[in-house]
Amino acid sequence: MSSTWLWFVSRAGGIVSLALLTVVVTLGVGSAGGRRPSVMTVGLHRSLGVGLVVFVLVHVATCVVDSYVPLGWISVVVPFAASYRGLWVGVGALAFDVLAAVLITSVLRHRLPAGLWRAVHWLSYALAAAAVVHGVAMAGADQPVLLAITVGCGATTVAATGWRLLRRSPDRVRRSSVRARGWT
């Protein structure tokens, strides 16, 4: 099946996914690095995180169904298996796999060791980076608007991460000063 609307829907799905992902990551970084997050923040982080999956699925499904580019179902899951622009589609596939892992571990969070959930959730930073790289490489060349949105998303994530790394919260200060007293 090949029609221009599939192509447009696919691109729109991709860019909306990226924008939502950026919001979810920023909310997550904010809750993890700051003071105790509000119920609102946590709720948004969770529901938007689940919601963005719909757009990712639309993005992926329309890409595959659209026969304008040769993409198989395997190559959206297995990284670097695509013949069409294998490297950059592969980065997208990688992001898709990580997203699936983060989602599944979060749903099963209370049945898993706390450390496993946390370790997988840390991969979200790689997920955000991969999504931006995938976006810049696939849609950057011909569409300045898409490029601007993608770069903007990347910059937002970088800024949030920087804030988390540099922030000296009262919590962190107190914990580290107590830890310095020697407990073993």
Partner 1 sequence: MTALTELVREAGLAGRGGGSFSTATKLELAQQHRADLIINACDGEVDARKDGWVIEHHLMDVLGAAAQLTTGRVRIAAQRDSVTIARLQAACVDTLAVPRHYVSSEESSLVRLAHGGPARPLTRYRPITAGGRSETGRRLRPTLVLNAETVWRIQQIRDHGAAWFRSHGTEREPGPRLVTMVRGVARPGVYEAAAGMTFGHLGALAGGFTAPVGAFWLGGLGGGFVAAADAPVARWSRDGLRRWGIGPGAGTIDVIRAGDDPWLTVTAALDYAAGESAGQCGPCMFGIPALFDDVAALRRSPDEEAVERLYRRLGQLPGRGACHYPDGIAGFVRSALRTFGEVPQAVPARRHRHLSVIGPQS
Kindly indicate which of the ranges 4-12, 20-28, 52-60, 109-117 contains the residues binding partner 1, using the contact rule CB under 8 A.
109-117
Angle CA(161)–CA(117)–CA(17) in degrees, nearest 5?
55
- Give the binding-site size for partner 1 (rule: CB under 8 A): 15
As measured in angstroms, the least distance from the Cβ of 119 to partner 1 is: 11
DSSP the chain: ---HHHHHHHHHHHHHHHHHHHHHHHHHHHHHHSSSPPHHHHHHHHHHHHHHHHHHHHHHHHHHH-TTS---HHHHHSTT--STTHHHHHHHHHHHHHHHHHHHHHHTGGGS-HHHHHHHHHTHHHHHHHHHHHHHHHHTTT-HHHHHHHHHHHHHHHHHHHHHHH---HHHHHHHHHHTT---
User: Closest CB to partner 1 among 144 and 182?
Assistant: 182
Site membership for partner 1, residue 144 (CB under 8 A): no
Kindly indicate which of the ranges 24-32, 71-79, 111-119, 142-150 contains the residues binding partner 1, using the contact rule CB under 8 A.
111-119
Kindly indicate which of the ranges 60-68, 94-102, 119-127, 176-184 contains the residues binding partner 1, using the contact rule CB under 8 A.
176-184
**List 33, 85, 113, 125, residue binding partner 1 (CB under 8 A):** 113
Site membership for partner 1, residue 179 (CB under 8 A): yes
Angle CA(64)–CA(70)–CA(72) in degrees, nearest 5?
50
Using CB under 8 A as the binding rule, the residues of this chain from 23 to 82 that contact partner 1 are: 36
Kindly indicate which of the ranges 53-61, 79-87, 142-150, 166-174 contains the residues binding partner 1, using the contact rule CB under 8 A.
166-174
Q: For residue 87, what are its two tokens?
A: 């490297």
User: Closest CB to partner 1 among 167 and 174?
Assistant: 174
Site membership for partner 1, residue 168 (CB under 8 A): no
Task: Return residues touching partner 1 (CB under 8 A).
Answer: 36, 113-115, 170-171, 174-175, 177-179, 181-184
